[in-house]
Structure 1
Amino acid sequence: MTQTNTPKPAPRPARGAGAEEPTPEKAAAASPLQDAAPAAAVSQDTAVSQDTAVSQDTAPVDAVPPAAPPGDISVVTVSDAQDRTSAGSLSAVSTMTIPVRPASLPTVTAGPAATVPEEPEGSPAEDENQADPEAQHHLSERRERAEGPEPAAALTADRLLNKAAAAPVAGWRRWLHQATFGFVNLGDPDSVRIQRALEHRIATRLGERTRYVPVLSRKGGVGKTTVTTLLGMVLADLREDRVIAMDANPDRGTLSDRSPGRADFTARQLVKDRFTVNSFAQLSNYTARDGSRLDVLASDTDPMVAHAFDDADYRAVTDILGRYYSIVLTDSGTGMVHSVMKGTLEKADAVVLVSGGSVDEARLASETLSWLEAHGRQDLVAKATVVINMAAGDRTLVNIDEIEQHFLSRVKNVVRIPHDRHLAEGSRIQLSQLKPATRRAAVELAALVMEELQQS
């Protein structure tokens, strides 16, 4: 077998008096970045015979040069084949060591016995087990809130569930939504959205105190009882609490005739039994409810008995109703000077004034506002809602727009209820049989009344 002999470097003299000091030029020439490739070539070109074993021991250092200035590199050469004491030793092993540099650069050691160098003080490796600022940046912002982590109650359905747009309720928009299998959804028109906004205002909570709303009129036959029934049905249908309409007409009232259901007792009998009524179950025996969520407390059919219903009786009945109902509507009589009217206005949180579409009916309604102002109830006039009931139709020569503008100069809200054949029948009212325009007007009236009650 042919063996190639590699020229051996001349041995360096031992440190002593005659030792040659390394110069900066020689130290720069021995830079590990420049000598890495030649060192690797020497290691690869060194021939080792097949019967020569590899030794794991590193030869002792022959010489150590003096420390070089920061930034310089000193080379330490380890003795090779000349110092072999046996045939099994490794020939020519060279180890290069880079001294410690400034804190910005770590020490690197290359060679067969290379180990992980110690990092300088302040290195990121010392804080390896500590929290990484970049990792902390990815933490949830809710976890770092001042008030602490979120409670379980924060996981609501509105937050977690993806909401899909509701299909249109009717019209060509709904047909298009069904024809495209839901891919085209234009939503409801503005009229439907306004209606939903009004219904949301009606359903707003009022608080713990009962609100009283009398419906007034100085002329019979203008639809006062009809307006009371419509207002009560819409409030009871859209609200979660209890609503009752009370017939306080000193004459023969017709509120029970316009409302679904029949009652076995009247307001006069409730006055007699007021000290024995201690629960809503007992009170429900005196009210009527059939096909509607509106409770109705009727008046006596005998005019002579009804006439005996005075201010003290009204206060006693409303005190009982105030325990179990959130809103109490009062279908008042036409007599503004009657004793019942005194307690009605004193307890009132808002009033609804009904006017017809004729000249005399509009004039009497305006005079009612003047009477309230003359008796020191300017607050009720400012919060009053005038209803123009078009029960007779709009084919007369009366300019209804002028009547509406007149009342807007005196009160805040004016609502016009259009003519409806179902209302003109004079029988029991059902919301499902009303025309859409009539139902929208009733919902608008309820929303305006609720707005005034929330401010009271």
Structure 2
Amino acid sequence: MADRPDSEQPENEEHGILDEERVDTSGIFLGGSTAQVDVAFPVPADDDDAIDEDFDESSAQERMTQPAPAERADTAEAEIIDDAVADAPQERHDMDIEDAVEADEPEPAPAFTDRVAVSVAQPVRAVEPTAAVFDVTLASKRLGELEVSREGADVLTADRLLDPHHVAKVEPEGFWQSTLYRASGTLINLGDSKKARARKELSRRIAAPLPGGARFVPVLSRKGGVGKTTVTTLLGMALADARDDRVVAVDANPDRGTLAERIGRTSGKTIRDLVRIKDEVVGYNDLSTIVARDETRLDVLASDADPRVSEAFGDDDYRAAAAVAAHYYSVVLTDTGTGIVHSVMSATLERADALVVVAGLSIDEARLASETLTWLETNGYGDRVREAVVVLNTTRPGSPLVRADEVEAHFRTRVRAVIRMPYDSHIASGAAIGFHEIHPATREAARQLAAAVVESLRTPAVV
């Protein structure tokens, strides 16, 4: 159907209203509360200004943008889309091509059209504002759930990366275990012997971590000559030899203690020097010039050699030295003076986290040790007594005059653990103690004592 000029259009045809068959809806845009329709107007090749003369664009725009009635608002978009699909110009173009083929005429070229975007107003429904809720779940992924390209550094373990054929195997401890391991060319490994496993388990108990700050362990005795200083030295060496943190033994004996002499190394400084420079200590290097260290890494803070000077050492001095030691050590052992009523005992007990009471294997020594426990219980340290460790120290060679089993059974009813320290001629000589040179039974007893003290420190006190 050929387009006719505008001048030949009937007068009753209103300008700006197009025949439904001539609407080109090549593009429909839906955005927000309005729908946009591209309406194409045919332009004759011989008259480019025809549309401008006969079409009142402003009036058409005003009519087309008039809001639709409320009852038709929901179907406005559907009707426009249906009309656009049904009246696509492609059908007319196909019909023109078929007519041209039947008439042996060349295919007419498609006419260029101008497009005017007409907005069809749509009613906007009021939506109540609601707060956005985001449900975020943070969860860690296991190794199997991670992507191959997203592995973390924690998956680069020795078990995964090391070739087992090139990893040196640990030789088992024990005569027969080691002999069979070597004879088989490292193919047969029976594991450590029972004795080696027990030794490693004891080391693990001694090296158990101690949460929190420094822990204070005073070593007490009501009677001199029972080996209180020796027990303090052996306990400190056993702890320092198995643990990775720092251990210090403080000689707080007001009557010239001999703790520093038991390790054979002295720094020439005493606890009095530490109290004097306590405000100047800013690091461990400042403290290391005052303490003496032995081969097991045990630090010892010696007392004054002059009894007249050491008499003046009291509670306030001990508190000052203990405050400095607490910053640089995990375990602080205190070799107290003889008895439980002297110038340093009050400050020593108020900071005590565990107690070690030394008793000899005689009737009077056993009774004094038991009376010490009673005094502590009646003076507010009952919880410490229940977790205390009693050491039955043998200071004379040969069999004791009392039945040691009965003495041990008595103390087991009152404290956490009882340790027997055997007689050792190397220690009895009064010489400096070498921890790896003493008798194996003595060293084993010292390690058992260290394990019992660590377990006492790890047990929360029940008040």
The Cα offsets for residues 317-375 of structure 1, whole Å up to 9 and x where unpaired, read as: 10011111111100011121113111101000001111112222111111110110110
Deviates more, 1:402-411 or 1:182-191: 182-191
From 287, 295, 305, give the equivalent of 1:301: 305
Q: Within the alignment, does 1:262 sit opposite 2:263 as a pair?
A: no
Cα deviation, residue 195, structure 1: 1.6
Answer yes or no: is the 8 Å Cα contact 2:262–2:433 preserved in 1.
yes
The Cα offsets for residues 259-314 of structure 1, whole Å up to 9 and x where unpaired, read as: 13111211112212222222211111111114330110000111111111100110
Answer yes or no: is the 8 Å Cα contact 1:388–1:416 preserved in 2.
yes
Q: Distance in 1 between matches of 2:401 and 2:160?
A: 57
SS of residue in 1 equivalent to 2:279: coil
Alignment-derived partner of residue 367 in structure 1: 371
From 181, 187, 193, give the equivalent of 1:177: 181
Q: Distance in 1 between matches of 2:416 and 2:169?
A: 36
Residues 137-216 of structure 1 mapped to structure 2, 5 A cutoff: 142-144=143-145, 150-158=151-159, 160-161=161-162, 162=164, 166-216=170-220
SS of residue in 1 equivalent to 2:217: strand
Normalising by the residue count of structure 1, what TM-score does the alignment of the two structures yield?
Answer: 0.65
Q: Distance in 2 between matches of 1:377 and 1:218?
A: 16
From 268, 272, 275, give the equivalent of 1:271: 275
From 424, 436, 448, give the equivalent of 2:440: 436
Which ranges of structure 2 fall in alignment gaps of 5 or more residues? 1-140
SS of residue in 1 equivalent to 2:231: helix
Answer yes or no: is the 8 Å Cα contact 1:311–1:342 preserved in 2.
yes
Structure with the higher fraction of residues in strand conformation:
2
Cα deviation, residue 223, structure 1: 1.1
Cα deviation, residue 429, structure 1: 0.8
Answer yes or no: is the 8 Å Cα contact 1:213–1:349 preserved in 2.
yes
Residues 12-411 of structure 1 mapped to structure 2, 5 A cutoff: 142-144=143-145, 150-158=151-159, 160-161=161-162, 162=164, 166-411=170-415
Distance verdict in 2 for CA 1:203–1:158, change over 3 Å: farther
SS of residue in 2 equivalent to 1:433: coil
Cα deviation, residue 166, structure 1: 3.2
SS of residue in 1 equivalent to 2:408: helix
Which ranges of structure 1 fall in alignment gaps of 5 or more residues? 1-139
Q: Give the partner amino acid of 1:304.
A: R
RMSD value, Cα: 2.2
Q: Distance in 2 between matches of 1:408 and 1:173?
A: 38
Q: Distance in 2 between matches of 1:141 and 1:442?
A: 45
Q: Give the partner amino acid of 2:157.
A: T
The Cα offsets for residues 28-58 of structure 1, whole Å up to 9 and x where unpaired, read as: xxxxxxxxxxxxxxxxxxxxxxxxxxxxxxx
Q: Distance in 2 between matches of 1:378 and 1:141?
A: 49
Q: Within the alignment, does 1:453 sit opposite 2:457 as a pair?
A: yes
Deviates more, 1:289-298 or 1:386-395: 386-395
Q: Which runs of 4+ in 1 moved over 4 A?
A: 158-165
SS of residue in 1 equivalent to 2:391: strand
Cα deviation, residue 164, structure 1: 7.2
Alignment-derived partner of residue 423 in structure 2: 419
Answer yes or no: is the 8 Å Cα contact 2:254–2:343 preserved in 1.
no
Cα deviation, residue 149, structure 1: 6.2
Q: Distance in 1 between matches of 2:291 and 2:143?
A: 54
Answer yes or no: is the 8 Å Cα contact 1:142–1:149 preserved in 2.
no
Alignment-derived partner of residue 44 in structure 1: none
The Cα offsets for residues 239-259 of structure 1, whole Å up to 9 and x where unpaired, read as: 111110000001110101101
Which structure is richer in relative contact order (CA contacts within 8 A, separation 6 or more)?
2
Q: Distance in 2 between matches of 1:192 and 1:399?
A: 31
Normalising by the residue count of structure 2, what TM-score does the alignment of the two structures yield?
Answer: 0.64
SS of residue in 1 equivalent to 2:344: helix
Cα deviation, residue 181, structure 1: 3.3
The Cα offsets for residues 1-54 of structure 1, whole Å up to 9 and x where unpaired, read as: xxxxxxxxxxxxxxxxxxxxxxxxxxxxxxxxxxxxxxxxxxxxxxxxxxxxxx
The Cα offsets for residues 205-246 of structure 1, whole Å up to 9 and x where unpaired, read as: 223411100011111111111111111111111111111000
Percent identical pairs in the alignment equals 53
Answer yes or no: is the 8 Å Cα contact 1:232–1:244 preserved in 2.
yes
Distance verdict in 2 for CA 1:348–1:170, change over 3 Å: same
Deviates more, 1:209-218 or 1:176-185: 176-185
